[in-house]
Structure 1
């Protein structure tokens, strides 16, 4: 795995992001007395929960694209695009907590980064298939 050190760092940061969003939900459960398995209640808990779930959903899409882009392209470009995705998701979490209506631009940035990873992966795989 020494061929993709930067992508490995981004992957670890993605895992930390998922851990952080999970901890945010746990804190909100305690703060607003929302007992599992409930997923509704105080609006701030629901925001934390949606941040966690949406981030998880986006990670499931982005993580394979990140690794395909690294494996069939370049570690640097895949990691840089993954870093943009991470920044978009962090911005998304902050925006959603402040005002859910303001999360759109951050969501869009992360979505564009996922799309760029998909294009990098497709380009790399396509080049290999045509070679």
Structure 2
């Protein structure tokens, strides 16, 4: 059972999955709006951008969640939650921007990427430190 500071990491995880779901919903609503029959992904640019926002979020979620939890276990759950809380905010703005125009996705992307890099590098350093310490 999760306790203490790890509950914050669990909360950030749940909010991140909720934002992922919003990208799924956005893509699904675009499929209906632009009358793109399943399983096709060919359609107007407005449709394709929304689908790409969803697919890109899936790709980043696969890096984000495990690296955040590894960082929480090896470095600090409070820092993991604090840095991780930035990710769903950035991804939400990524979805909104990309839905409007391709170049508007960049601010959201730039908000989300540092946390992933910090989590991965911090986890590697944390693991090496613990191995060396015995």
TM-score interval for Structure 1 and Structure 2 normalised by the shorter chain: over 0.9
Query: So what's the TM-score if we normalise by structure 1?
Result: 0.93
After the TM superposition, which residues 28-67 of structure 1 pair with which residues of structure 2 at under 5 Å, given as runs? 28-67=30-69
- For the pair 1:105 / 2:107, whether they are aligned, the reply is yes
Q: Deviations over 1:80-102 (max 9, x none)?
A: 11111222211211111122112
Q: 2:14 aligns with which of 3, 12, 15?
A: 12
Number of paired residues?
131
For structure 1, which segment, 80-89 or 68-77, has the greater mean C-alpha deviation from structure 2 after superposition?
A: 80-89
5+ unaligned residues in a row in structure 1: which ranges?
Answer: none
Deviation at 1:8, TM superposition (A): 0.2
TM-score by length of 2: 0.91
**Partner in structure 2 of residue 92 of structure 1:** 94
Cα RMSD (Å) of the superposition? Answer: 1.2
Contact 2:87 2:115 in 1 (8 A): yes
Match of 1:115 among 111, 114, 117: 117
How many angstroms apart in 2 are the aligned matches of 1:27 and 1:102? 20
Q: Which residue of 1 aligns with 2:75?
A: 73
Tell me which residue corresponds to 1:127.
129
Q: Which runs of 5+ in 2 are unaligned?
A: none
What secondary structure is seen at the aligned counterpart in 2 of 1:103?
A: helix
